[in-house]
Amino acid sequence: MEEKILRMKELVPMLSRAAWAYYQESREIMSNYDYDSLYDELLQLEKETGTILSGSPTQIVGYEVLSELPKEAHEAPMLSLDKTKSVEDLTDWLGDQEGLLSWKLDGLTIVLTYESGKLVKAVTRGNGEIGEVITPNARVFANIPLTIGFQGELILRGEAVIKYSDFERINEEIPDADARYKNPRNLCSGSVRQLNSEITAQRSVNFKAFALVRAVAADKAVSFAADFHNSREEQFIWLKNQGFDVVDYRRVTRENIAEAVSSFAEAVQTFDVPSDGLVLTFDDISYGESLGRTAKFPRNSIAFKWADEIRETHLSYIEWSASRTGLINPVAVFEPIELEGTTVSRASVHNISIMEALELGEGDEITVYKANMIIPQIADNLTRSNTIKVPEACPVCGGATEIRQVDEVRSLYCTNPDCQAKKIKSFTLFVSRDALNVDGLSEATLEKFIAAGFIHDFADLFHLDQHQDAIVQMEGFGQRSFDNLMNSLKNAAHTNLPRIIYGLGIAGIGLANAKMLCRKFRFDFSAMRHASYDDLIEIDGIGDVLAKAWIEYFASEKNNALVDKLLAELTIEKEELPSEEEAVFAGKTFVITGSLEHFSNRKALQELIEAKGGKAAGSVSAKTSYLINNDTTSNSSKNKKAKELGIPILSETDFLKLLEELGQGKDNQNTES
Q: Which of 4, 9, 104, 220 is catalytic?
A: 104
Which residue intervals of 242-383 are DSSP H helices? 257-267, 285-290, 352-358
- Straight-line distance from the first to the last Cα atom of the chain, in angstroms, rounded to the nearest whole number: 95
Residues 6 or more apart in contact with residue 586 via CB below 8 angstroms: 613, 614
Q: Which residues contact 568 (CB under 8 A, 6 or more apart)?
A: 459
Q: In sequence order, which residues have a C-beta less than 8 Å from that of residue 584 and are 6 or more positions away?
A: 612, 613, 659, 662, 663, 665, 666
CA distances from 138 to 71, 157, 543 (A): 15, 13, 21
Radius of gyration for the alpha carbons in the chain, expressed in angstroms and rounded = 29
The two counts, helices (H) then strands (E), for the chain are: 25, 24
Q: How far apart are CA 383 and CA 360, in angstroms?
A: 8
Annotated active-site residue 423? The verdict is no
Is the Cβ–Cβ distance between 314 and 366 less than 8 Å? yes
156 pairs with which residues across the strands?
112, 212
Give the helix ranges, DSSP H, for 407-442.
421-430
Using DSSP, state whether 302 is helix, strand or coil: strand
Strand ranges (E), 55-128:
71-73, 83-84, 99-105, 108-115, 118-124
Helix (H) or strand (E) holding 360: none
Name residue 408's amino acid: E
Measure the CA–CA gap between 121 and 138, rounded to whole angstroms. 9
CB 167 within 8 A of CB 181: yes
d(CA 636, CA 195): 28
Q: What is the distance between the alpha carbons of residues 175 and 171, in angstroms, rounded to a whole number?
A: 8
CA dist 144 and 111 (Å) reads 12
In 3D space, the residue among 243, 220, 56 whose CA is nearest the CA of residue 145 turns out to be 243
Q: Give the C-alpha separation, 164 to 149, whole Å.
A: 32
- Of 106, 47, 63, the C-alpha closest to 375 is 106
Q: Please list the helix, strand and coil fractions of the chain in percent, rounded to the nearest 5, in that order.
A: 40, 20, 40
Residue 291, Cβ neighbours under 10 Å: how many?
Answer: 10
Whole-number Å distance between alpha carbons of 109 and 208: 9
Cα–Cα separations (whole angstroms), residue 288 to 239, 284, 399: 20, 6, 63
Across 374-408, b (16+ Cβ under 10 Å) vs e yields bebbbbbbeeeeeebeeeeebebbebebeeeeeee
Give CA–CA dist 51/42, Å, rounded: 11
CB 332 within 8 A of CB 362: no
Residues carrying an active site annotation: 104
